[in-house]
Amino acid sequence: MCGIVGYVGPRQAQDVLMHGLARLEYRGYDSAGLAVADRGRVAVAKAEGKLARLIERVDQSPLPGHAGIGHTRWATHGVPSDRNAHPHSDTTGDFVVVHNGIVENFRALRDRLEAEGVAFRSDTDSEVLAHLVARAFDGDLTEAVRRTISQAEGAYALVAMTSRQPDRIVAARMISPLVVGLGEGENFLASDIPAVLEYTREFLLVEDGEIATVTRDGATLETIAGSPVRKQPFTADWETDSVRKGGFDHFMAKEIHEQPDVISRTLGARIRPSEDGGEQVALEGLEWSDRDPAEIDRIWITACGTAYHAGLVGRVLFEQLAGIPGEVAFAHELRYGKPLFRDGSLTLAISQSGETADTVAAARLARRRGSRLLALTNVVGSSLAREADDVLYTWAGPEISVASTKAYVAMLVGESLLALELGRRRGTLSRTAERELVAELRTLPGKAARVLEDMDEVSRLADVLAGSPDAYFIGRGLDLASAMEGALKLKEISYIHAEAMPAGELKHGTLALISDGTPVVAVVTQEDVHSKAMLSLQEVKARRGLVIAVAYEDDEEIGTVSDHVLRIPRVADVFSPILAAIPLQLLAYFVARRLGRDIDQPRNLAKSVTVE
């Protein structure tokens, strides 16, 4: 959700904060603001809308000074507007806060403060924090923040500053992510590493219940109870280029094109030569005894959005390659359901950001109920990674576009490796089968690059789809997961209504909506149900629907029932979702381009959903 950045040092804070906000805008973009301390006061500038509006404002009236905090917002309480934008101030204007997350008891706190005579100026839950910090201050901002968070309930990160102690910014973390960036004679705070990556590579992770006090000379961490916390900084070795568009018009396009490299990276050192002259999977980071894989009797997979679609693919892989039955559950359903976790179960929680509130909560629940927790995530040190017994990282690099592309493909590769590892260790996969499948995995980067070489057909098709109010996506087996992901991509960035369903389900109702020219995107890669997929497409053609198929390049039959075919190189069917994702991502991208949509920052959405 919202992005936070803070700075104390010799530079003009405004420059660092605006730079950080630009890097964080993907986190939320309905308004933005900053506050800078200077000569006994704190100046605030904020603006509804994209960061460009705030840039205009600060260009006209700069905020000089060397310490400040900034925020980019995704609304939870209160509509996007100047008054609801952060930072929020107390009634004197001496104290300001930025906040990410939700203060769950804000209503009670606000009622109490109003009864004490405080006049609120916004509709947000966050403003209570500014008033609480001001009222708790008696000369020490750290102490005031401590007193504030002992009253506020919920999952959040908070950063405060005051004109009365202008040399510092103080932050507290309750679940929502926060890091301290360490520089030479300057220090930073941020909700995400990319915000300050151009200034420092050294970071301290602020953990739940910790308070960070950041000055020009250093940063101290302590618990809510006041005990000092000492920890080693870690180095972020991300390329700064990875948070730039690198010649593409959109981050989404750049991230789609990075996928061949991402597949190679995620495979990385996880494949090693085997004694029989072939190769086998060797996963790092899994602290499994020899017996552990054999004892898994069920896999629970939990995630949201695109990561959930990755989970649908994973379920089939674990079943087919490792002989483990599984269940995929939306994290927001699982966390409030009554799942029967058992000691022998493994829960795989999947999340690009590792910060999705529902996924982290579902993962916690699984672990509490005795399931072993394995996190599949892209972000090192994320909440999910820290919660888990074992972590498998997808080495996709920072994903900036709100629509997930490369992280999805990396999740599929990670699951493939995991399924192969489990299959070998459980004895459900023969050496020959493993060797052949590993060899197939090795071909994926090259094949993904080939899909990206020929974009003419997909770009032509975008014209067709862009004129339609609806589109239907169908598939069977693993192709259904690809269809669901394709539909999500299209609606998310083009705002065209898209609905995915099993191909066999069409005739049970939705076929009534198919008429002359209705687009039906069919993913057809699974050999065992190929003839059945053809039947479904015949049904669509018989109603004059417009069939766009995603199929293997050597599938000649598909042309007989399709108006257009997006071709992918043939690969073992279990890995086809990795390649099928790419034309579907491109289709959504080109449609959204035709329609002039805000591709990297689609309306109403945010990159990581750190609230319920």
Q: Which of 254, 447, 489, 607 is catalytic?
A: 607
Torsion on CA atoms 541, 545, 546, 551, rounded to nearest 10: -50
Q: State the Cα–Cα distance between residues 54 and 3, nearest whole angstrom.
A: 15
Identity of the residue, 345 or 359, whose beta carbon is nearer to ligand M6R in the bound complex: 359
CB of 608 to ligand M6R, least distance (A): 5
Q: What gap in Å lies between CA 127 and CA 353, rounded to an integer?
A: 27
Instruction: Pick one of 200, 356, 416, 585: the residue that binds ligand M6R (CB under 6 A).
Output: 356
- Span between the terminal Cα atoms of the chain, in Å: 11
294 — phi, psi (to 5°)? -65, -30
User: Shortest gap between Cβ of 258 and ligand M6R (angstroms)?
Assistant: 15
The angle at the Cα of 128, spanning 124 to 133, to the nearest 5 degrees, equals 140
Q: Which is nearer to ligand M6R, 54 or 402 (CB)?
A: 402
Asked if 345 and 372 touch (Cβ cutoff 8 Å), the reply is yes
Residues 545-604 that bind ligand M6R (CB under 6 A): none
Residue 576 beta carbon to ligand M6R: minimum distance, rounded to whole angstroms: 20
User: Does 402 help bind ligand M6R (rule: CB under 6 A)?
Assistant: yes
Q: Going by C-beta distance under 8 Å and a sequence separation of 6 or more, which residues neighbour residue 430?
A: none
Catalytic (active site) residue 2: yes
Among 359, 371, 416, 585, binds ligand M6R (CB under 6 A): 359
Among 2, 46, 304, 491, the one annotated catalytic: 2
* Residue 357: partners with Cβ closer than 8 Å, 6 or more residues away: 155, 175, 609, 610, 611, 612
Q: Is 209 helix (H, G, I), strand (E, B) or coil?
A: coil
Encoded one letter per residue, x for contact with ligand M6R by CB under 6 A and - for no contact, window 449-488 reads: ---------------------------------------x
Helix (H, G, I), strand (E, B) or coil at 277: coil
403 binds ligand M6R (CB under 6 A): yes
Backbone angles phi, psi at 429, to 5 degrees: -120, 125
Nearer to ligand M6R, 304 or 511 (CB): 304
Q: How far apart are CA 106 and CA 119, in angstroms?
A: 15
For residue 350, the minimal CB distance to ligand M6R (Å) is 7
**Structure tokens belonging to residue 301:** 């997979």
608 touches ligand M6R by CB under 6 A: yes
Nearest to ligand M6R of 321, 587 (CB atom): 587
Of 133, 172, 348, 609, the one binding ligand M6R (CB under 6 A) is: 609
Measured from the CB of residue 504, what is the shortest distance to ligand M6R in angstroms?
26
With contacts defined by CB under 6 A, how many residues of the chain interact with ligand M6R?
A: 16
Using CA atoms, how far apart are residues 172 and 183, in angstroms rounded to an integer?
Answer: 20
| Rounded CA separation 528/573 (Å) | 9
The least CB distance from residue 310 to ligand M6R, in Å, is 8
Question: Per CB under 6 A, which of residues 326..355 are in contact with ligand M6R?
Answer: 351-353
Residue 518 binds ligand M6R (CB under 6 A): no
Site for ligand M6R, residues 93 to 122, rule: CB under 6 A: none
Q: Whose Cβ is closer to ligand M6R: residue 449's or residue 605's?
A: 605
Residue with Cβ nearer ligand M6R (255 or 421): 255
For residue 560, give the DSSP letter.
G
Say whether 607 is catalytic.
yes
* Sheet containing 219-223: order of strands: 88-89, 95-103, 154-162, 168-174, 210-215, 219-223, 228-229
> Could you tell me which stretch among 3-11, 398-406, 496-504, 538-546 binds ligand M6R (CB under 6 A)?
398-406
* Angular region, 78: left φ>0, alpha ψ -120 to 50, beta rest: left
For ligand M6R, the closer of residues 34 and 609 by Cβ is 609
Query: Which one, of 97, 99, 124, 100, lies nearest residue 110 by Cα?
Result: 124
Q: Report angle CA 464, 467, 470 to the nearest 5 degrees.
A: 100
Alpha-carbon span 320 to 345, nearest angstrom: 17
Whether a cis peptide bond, with omega within 30° of 0, leads into 87 is yes
Residue 21 DSSP symbol:
H
Instruction: Give yes or no for residue 170 binding ligand M6R (CB under 6 A).
Output: no
Nearest distance, CB of residue 167 and ligand M6R, angstroms: 36
User: Between 310 and 437, whose beta carbon lies closer to ligand M6R?
Assistant: 310
Please, what is the minimum distance in Å from the beta carbon of residue 347 to ligand M6R?
15
Q: Which two tokens stand for residue 410?
A: 């990396």
Cβ-closest position to ligand M6R: 305
Structure tokens at 261: 């490299």
Is position 611 an interface residue for ligand M6R (rule: CB under 6 A)? no
- Of 518 and 608, which has the nearer Cβ to ligand M6R? 608
Binding mask 279-318 for ligand M6R (x = CB under 6 A): -------------------------xxxx-----------
In the complex with ligand M6R, the residue whose CB is nearer, 89 or 353, is 353
DSSP string computed for 171-224: EEEESS--EEEE-SS-EEEESSGGGGTTT-SEEEEPPTTEEEEEESS-EEEEET
Q: How would DSSP label each residue in 479-530? A: HHHHHHHHHHHHHHHH--EEEEEEGGGGGGTGGGG--TT-EEEEEE--GGGH
Is 325:381 a contact under the CB 8 Å cutoff? no
Closest to ligand M6R by CB, 163 or 306: 306
CB 71 to ligand M6R: min, Å: 20
Q: Which stretch binds ligand M6R (CB under 6 A): 125-133, 401-409, 475-483, 555-563?
A: 401-409
- Please, what is the minimum distance in Å from the beta carbon of residue 101 to ligand M6R? 15
Residue 356 C-beta: closest distance to ligand M6R, Å: 3
Query: HSE-up of 107 (CA within 13 Å, CB side)?
Result: 2
SS3 132: helix
> Does position 492 bind ligand M6R by CB under 6 A?
yes
Closest among 576, 580, 599 to 588, alpha carbons compared:
599
List residues near ligand M6R by CB under 6 A: 304-307, 351-353, 356, 359, 402-404, 488, 492, 608-609
Which amino acids are annotated catalytic?
2, 607
